[in-house]
Structure formats: C-alpha cells, structure tokens
Amino acid sequence: MNQLGFPLLSILIFLPLLGAVVTSLLPWKYASRLSLVFAVVNFVLSLLVVGYFQRTAEFQFVERVSWITAFDNPDTPIPDPGFLIEYFLGVDGISLWMIPLTTLLSAIAIWFSSDSIREREKEYYAFMLLLETGMLGVFMALDLFLFFVFWEAVLIPMYFLIGVWGGKNRIYATIKFVLYTMAGSAFMLAAIMALGIFSVNLGQSGTIGYALDRLQDITPQLPPQTQLLLFLAFAVAYAIKVPLFPFHTWLPDAHVQAPTAGSVILAGILLKMGTYGYLRFAVPLFPAVALELAPIFATLAIIGILYGAWVAYAQRDMKSLVAYSSVSHLGFVVLGIFSLNNQGLSGAILQMVNHGLSTGALFLLVGMIYERRHTRDLEEFGGLWTRMPVFAAFFLITMLASVGLPGLNGFIGEFLTLIGAFAANPWWAAFATFGVVLAAVYMLHLFGKIMFGPLDNPENRTLSDLTRKEIMILVPLVALMVLIGVAPNLLLDPMQPSVEALVEVIQTGAAARLIP
C-alpha cells in the first residue's frame, strides 16, 4: 500500500487524537507533560515522512480504502448511483513540508503553553491535540469529502481555544472567526456536493465519489460556466481562510484575543490551510478558470500585501501588528500561487513554511514578553536591548527572517515568488516589491520601539531575560530559519516534481481553454 508497509499517515493523524483522549482521562497535573510527549512523538514520526519521501510527483504513503458506500441498489430498474466516499490519504511535494511544520509547531505551542496556561489545563491540551489531528488530516486528505470533514473539524478546537482561554473580547472574536469560516465552508460544501453529482454523470464508475484523482478527470468536461462557479465557491472558502483581502477582518480579532499558542497555530498552520486548498484542489481541478481569474486574485493579493503592511505599521498592539503582517505575507503566497508558474508555485510553498516558522516565532516572542509585562502596547516598551540581550538577539533574527534578509529563509521565498510574479506579469512584481520594503518599515518600527531608545518605563527595569526553556523553544525555529536561508534546496528539491506536475496540469488547462 505504501513504501513503508504500515499506515504512517493514519498514525500521524490519530496519535494526537489518542493523546487528547488519554490527556483528558488522566489527572490534570499530567496534562501538559503528557500532551507534550504525544506531540513530540508525532513530530519524530512525521520526520519519517520526510526521510522516506521519494523525489517523484506521485502521491506517496498512500492509504486508500472505501469509507462510506451506500444506497447503490443494483436490482432497481434504473441502476442507482451509490455513494463511494473514500478514506484516501497521501503526501506529495506540495503537502510534504506542511506535515513536519504542523507537528513541530504543535509541539512547540504545547511546550510553550505549560507556563502560560493556568486554568482548565486538561481541556486545553486535549483541544491542542485535537487541533493537530484536524490540521494533519487537512494536509493529507485526498478525498474532498474527507478533506471537508477535517477542514471543519479544525474549527471546533480553535473555537474553544480562543473562546475559553482568550483575552477580554474573546467571545466576539471566536464567533467572528467561526462565522466567517463557516460562511466560506458553506460555499465549498455546495461545490463539493455538486462535484459529487457531476461525477455520476461524467465519471466512469457511475457512483457519487469525491476522490481527487477521479474528480480531476471530470472537471475539464464541465461547461465553462459551471467550472467558474465551482472554482469561485472553493476560492471564497480558501480566501477567507488565508485570509485574502477583503476577507481578512476576522484575523486581527482572532489573533489578538487568542492565547499565544493559539496564535502560533493559527498563523503558522491554519492560514496555510487556505493557500494549500488553492494548491491542492482549486487550481488543479479548474486550471483553466484559475488562469482566467489569476489577475483578479493576484490583484487582491497585492492589495493585501500593501494594505496589510500599511495597517501593520499603524498598530500599537504587538500581536495586532504581527497579525496584519500575516495578511501581507500570505499575500505573497497567494501571488506566488496565481503566478501559476514553477518559480511562483515553489516560492509560494516555500513561503508557507517560512511564514509558519517566522510568524510562529514572532508570536512566541510577543507571548514571552506578554507573560512578563501583561501588556502588548508598543508604547509601554523601549530600551529592552540592555535588559534582555538574548531576547533581543532572537527577536532580531526572527524579525530579519520575516523581513526577508538574504541569508535567512524569508528572502528565498519572497525572491522566488517575485520572480514567478514577474514572469507572469511584470507589474505584479513591481507592486509586490513595495511590500518587501514596507515589511522592513513596520518590522524595524516594531523592533526599534521595543529594543532601542531609553529604558524609561520603570516597570521594564526589572524584566528578566529569557529562561532556558524559552530559549530551547525558540532555538529549533531560528535554526530552521538559518538552515532554509542557507540551503533552500533542501526544501525546494523534493517538491520540484510535484510542482512541475502542477504546472503541466495548468498548461494543459490553458491549452484546453484555447479550444472554444
């Protein structure tokens, strides 16, 4: 069934679920350590995926069994289409790096929480692990029905994480988050249902199925109008998740109110579910429409890049600043995707990993300072460089990675994205490049406000530097930033075959479009 001979992907998905059950059954004082053990084991297991990954465009570690088969009555006069819903998992170059990223950030988020979460710990860690299950499922599922189940399942734990352990305005934030996402999901669900029904009439087997490979045979046969509608339905759901301008308004609220670990996961992984959705479903299923609409999405992405950066500069709340910077950075990812060429797509995928690492680290750093001062107001800080040199060092590297300094990871991703965008349309690259400059502006503003200047706030005089544990939490992230910055081919190489295959799908779609 796959190159390992055992269902690695299922284990990765369901081990955290088991962890959630075990954690909630045992006494609360073990909750944090126990969940950390599960998360770390899962991370180590996820390295197997990287280790055994072969450099091909095929789906690997595939697990495929029928999950729900129903309502097929062979003895009725008109043979009935039955449902054939599959439990279909697999990894290719596009999803490869999202899996270790998810497991790593989950483990780090859980580890960080052991100091900051002081109430209802059992539930908290159970929800964190459930969240991991859902996210991994999203990145592995290759049956749209299964994908949708995981996609929605992610909402529940996040809803509770923000709503129970969040800040003052948490209920407003969590409802906004859920309603926005649900509204998008409703469109996607409608599109999935429609695709299932088209699969009866156009497919080979005459059953209602949702597996990606079967749907890919069907979608080119659909009339252009239908393709357009279906693509839009998917695209709206993903655009809300990314979030693409103008669907981004839920994000700052959710981030500001979420607990630190929630923000890390939200920015680091949840947002990538949206961009991943484009890469995995929306674009390959409807390449012709994607090409047609690419200018619109690229424009929205560029507006997001510039607007996000602009608004980020105006924020006083550190978390809110980082949240808007996410809008800007994710704009680059979407721009890369809708360049629809090799460089753009590779850059987008790489940038998904980069943003996870650097923004995750930024939220952790903000969280660490929040633990000490219980405020995130930029005006309260200044001159911390002298009090907290280690903190400042980590902050500096992370900030520079986020800005896109050559030698660190952000540079490679943004550079590839911009090359891709240039190849698609030079104007896109021209405007997007301003985003890089603006990123430097708001990030240096953030860094300068906190670190430089006189240490004039008396409350800041007593601040202690990072503890050993906090350093250990940050080291893997910073190390990866440097590693990817120095040797980006480690990541780019394995994803190449899949990216090339995707580009080929897009070109075939483009060719098909020429025939009216």
Partner 1 sequence: MPPMSLQELGTMARLMSMPIFLAFVGLVVLLSDLIFNRDDERRWPAYLTIAGLIGSLFLWVQSWLVYNLPETDNAFFAKARELLRVEALPQPELLFGGMYDPVGFFKLTLLCNLIIVIVALVVTLIAPGYLERRDLQRGEFYALLLFATVGLILMVGSTHLILTFLALELLSIPLYILAGFARPDLRSEESALKYFLLGSFASAFLLYGIALVYGATGTMNLYEIRAILAGDIQSGAPQILLVNGQNNLMVLGGLTMLLVGVGFKISLVPFHQWTPDVYEGAPTVVTAFMVAGTKVAGFVMLVNILVAFIVLYEWWWPLIAIIAVLTMLVGNIGAIRQRNIKRMLAYSSIAHAGYMLVGLVGLPVFPNIILPTLSLYLGVYALMNLGAFAVLMALEEATDREIVELEDFAGLGRAHPVLALLLGFFLLSLAGFPPTAGYFAKFFLFTGTILSAQRDPSLALQQWLVVAAVVLSVISLFYYARYIIAMFMTAAPAVEDDEEEFEPERPSWMVGTAVAVTAMLVLLIGLFPNPLLALFQ
Binding interface with partner 1 (CB under 8 A):
67-73, 76, 80-81, 83, 120, 122-123, 145, 148-149, 152-153, 156, 160, 163-164, 170-171, 174-175, 178-179, 182-183, 185-186, 189-190, 193-194, 196-197, 200-201, 208
User: 3-state DSSP call for residue 96?
Assistant: coil
Pairwise CA distance, residues 499 & 493, whole Å: 10
Cβ partners under 8 Å of residue 500, min gap 6:
57, 342
- 20 vs 322, beta carbon nearer partner 1: 20
Give least dist CB 194 to partner 1, A.
8
- 87 vs 434, beta carbon nearer partner 1: 87
- 126 vs 384, beta carbon nearer partner 1: 126
Q: Which tokens go with 104? A: 């790593």
- 185 vs 398, beta carbon nearer partner 1: 185
> Would you say the C-alpha torsion 126, 394, 372, 374 has a positive or negative sign?
negative
Per the CB < 8 A criterion, the answer to whether 320 and 259 are in contact is: no
Residue given tokens 């409807």 in the structure block: 286
Residue given tokens 């009439």 in the structure block: 201
Cβ partners under 8 Å of residue 511, min gap 6:
none
H/E element holding 511?
helix 489-514
Give least dist CB 42 to partner 1, A.
20
Give least dist CB 120 to partner 1, A.
7
Residue given tokens 């992370």 in the structure block: 398
User: 3-state DSSP call for residue 60?
Assistant: strand
- 70 vs 515, beta carbon nearer partner 1: 70
- 41 vs 164, beta carbon nearer partner 1: 164
Is 437 exposed, middle or buried, given 0-12, 13-18 or 19+ CB atoms closer than 10 A?
A: exposed
Pairwise CA distance, residues 269 & 32, whole Å: 21
Q: Which tokens go with 249? A: 């308004």
Give least dist CB 27 to partner 1, A.
13
Give least dist CB 156 to partner 1, A.
7
- 42 vs 174, beta carbon nearer partner 1: 174
Give least dist CB 48 to partner 1, A.
26
- 122 vs 280, beta carbon nearer partner 1: 122
- Characterize 493-511 residue by residue with b for buried, 16 or more Cβ atoms within 10 angstroms of its Cβ, and e for exposed: ebbebbbebbbebbeebee
- 156 vs 228, beta carbon nearer partner 1: 156
Give least dist CB 285 to partner 1, A.
18
Give least dist CB 93 to partner 1, A.
28
- Characterize 349-379 residue by residue with b for buried, 16 or more Cβ atoms within 10 angstroms of its Cβ, and e for exposed: bbbbbbbbbbbbbbbbbbbbbbebeeebebe
Q: Under the phi-then-psi rule, with left for phi > 0, alpha for psi from -120 to 50, and beta for the rest, what region is 383?
A: left
Of 137, 126, 132, 248, which is closest to residue 184 (Cα–Cα)?
A: 248
Give least dist CB 197 to partner 1, A.
6
Give least dist CB 154 to partner 1, A.
11
Length of the chain, please? 516
- 50 vs 175, beta carbon nearer partner 1: 175
